[in-house]
Amino acid sequence: MELSELVAHLQQQAAAQKLRLHEKNVYRILSALLATSDFWQLIDYADVPVPTGVLIVRELEQQGYVTIDSENGIFLTDQGRELVEKFHLVAPVNAHCPACEGRGYAYWLDKEFYRRFIEIAKDRPKPLRNYDQASVTPETTVARVQMLKHLGDLHQKEIIVLGAEDDLTGLAIAMTRLARRVLILDIDDRLIEFDRTIIAELGLTNAEAHVFDLRQPLPDEWVGAFDVFITDPPETHSAFRAFVARGIATLRGEGYSGYFGLTLRDASIFRWQEFQRILLNDLGVVVTDIIRNFNHYMNWPYHSETLAARIAPVKQPPRTIWYRSFWYRIETLPGFTRWNEPIQTDALYLDEEGSTT
């Protein structure tokens, strides 16, 4: 079977599951197999959603290019190695800056702050499955704060954090004591309680935390009231509206900024194009930064209950960090839209491409 045939065949199967892929996704999986036999690292290297990765790996097995050992991982066969050579594929190379983990902003620039944040974060509530929680590493959270500082989005700014406070981004911002106001919203009362306790203990007068369900419209007093928003949505269309579009609605006017993560583990690059069109065409903003794999997520305790674990061709849980997302920054421009409608769905976290909730 030629690779073009294999890709065409895969695309048919993908379409039946409402998934999308192209030949480069297949090449990338094959390249990654030169570096790892671990399914989760494979997904990390290949930048495809888990269900798409499963589909490709299963088809490669079907065609005799890989063997799957559910205990030990995924391995190229001799036939697979021939295919890899035919297409001149080589193992992925890591050329990210080791000093900043490739983010461009170093978490260690303010060591004192980094250490204080880690001390606070050690007692944070454990991630919960029903809110799709998975915390980023402390290095990620601190690098987010550094980036805000670098871009003039921290000092004396009014900042709203919409959900994803399991990352403690709102708390970290408050801890700098540099923002004029930090408003932290999350649906999880454990996180809000945690933040409130620390805010009280540290005597942070500029920060407040509220339980809030982002499917609901924001109250008027928060619309058009902030300099900066920060969020980290699940990658469904409804969540993108609930988190990002609502974030944009909070901004004060033209030239104000927002930050959010988008992953390729629970959404395809095809979906990203849809999101980018929504940002540019419907919401009227401009994208100023997209930083690859800025956000590193610590493995979550409920992994074994996820769809990802159930459909994975191996039984091994992830042994290293494999879930990453890119960090977007946008700015509002004339004609931007303040969208703030209610969302009538329970399926905020899962769709055909998502699997890690």
By CB under 8 A, tell whether 202 contacts a second copy: no
Tell me: does residue 16 bind a second copy (CB under 8 A): no
349 part of the interface to a second copy, by CB under 8 A: no
How far apart CA 20 and CA 12 sit, in angstroms, is 9
With binding defined as CB under 8 A, does residue 28 bind a second copy? yes
Among 5, 8, 17, 24, binds a second copy (CB under 8 A): 24
Cα 23 from Cα 74, distance rounded (Å)? 20
Report CA-CA distances (Å) from 47 to 24, 189, 247: 11, 33, 26
Q: Find the Cα–Cα–Cα–Cα dihedral 185, 101, 315, 129, rounded to 10°.
A: 0
Q: In the complex with a second copy, which residue's Cβ is closer, 43 or 309?
A: 43
Question: Residue 13: CB partners within 8 Å, gap ≥ 6?
Answer: 55, 59
* Minimum gap (Å) between residue 228 Cβ and a second copy: 11
Task: Give me the least distance between CB of 274 and a second copy, in Å please.
Answer: 9
Helix/strand/coil for 257:
strand
Q: How far apart are CA 339 and CA 247, in angstroms?
A: 9
- Interface with a second copy (CB under 8 A), residue from 69, 119, 189, 254: 254
The least distance separating a second copy from the CB of residue 246, rounded to whole angstroms, comes to 21
Q: Indicate which single residue of 62, 72, 130, 273 sits in contact with a second copy (rule: CB under 8 A).
A: 273
CB 250 within 8 A of CB 226: yes
Q: Is 269 in the site for a second copy (CB under 8 A)?
A: yes
Binding to a second copy in span 279-318, by CB under 8 A: 280-281, 285-292
**Quick check: 22 binds a second copy (CB under 8 A)?**
yes
**Taking a C-beta distance cutoff of 8 angstroms, is the pair 151, 175 a contact?**
no
Q: What is the residue type of 10?
A: L
Residue 169 binding a second copy, by CB under 8 A: no
Size of the site for a second copy (CB under 8 A): 56
User: Which residue stretch of 73-81, 143-151, 187-195, 316-324 sits at the interface with a second copy (rule: CB under 8 A)?
Assistant: 143-151
CA 112 to mean position of chain CA atoms:
27
Query: Exposed, middle or buried by CB within 10 Å (0-12, 13-18, 19+), for 151?
Result: middle
Amino acid at 112: E
Residue appearing with tokens 């690292």: 41
Please tell me whether residue 344 binds a second copy under the rule CB under 8 A: no
Q: Which two tokens stand for residue 165?
A: 């406070």
Asked whether position 147 contacts a second copy by CB under 8 A, the answer is yes
Q: How many CB atoms lie within 10 A of CB 210?
A: 13
Q: Given the rule CB under 8 A, which of 123-131, 186-194, 251-259, 308-316 is the region that contacts a second copy?
A: 251-259
Residue 197 or 273: the one with the smaller Cβ distance to a second copy is 273
Q: Which is nearer to a second copy, 154 or 218 (CB)?
A: 154
* Of 221, 228, 237, the residue nearest 162 (C-alpha): 228
Which one among 255, 319, 345, 347 touches a second copy, defined by CB under 8 A? 255
Choose, by CB under 8 A, the member of 16, 71, 78, 93 that binds a second copy.
93
Site string for a second copy, 101-140 (x = CB under 8 A): -xxxxx--x-------------------------------
Nearest in space to 130 (alpha carbons), one of 331, 300, 318: 300
Quick one: which of 35, 68, 89, 298 contacts a second copy (CB under 8 A)?
Answer: 89
Could you say which residues in the range 314-333 bind a second copy, by CB under 8 A? 326, 331, 333
The alpha helices in 229-343, defined as continuous H runs, are: 237-239, 246-249, 269-277, 307-311
Instruction: Please report, in angstroms and rounded to a whole number, the separation of the first and last CA atoms in the chain.
Output: 36
Question: Cβ 143 to a second copy, closest distance in Å?
Answer: 9
What does the binding site for a second copy look like in residue numbers (CB under 8 A)? Answer: 22-25, 28, 31, 88-90, 92-100, 102-106, 109, 146-147, 149-150, 152, 155-156, 180, 253-256, 269-270, 272-273, 276-277, 280-281, 285-292, 326, 331, 333-334
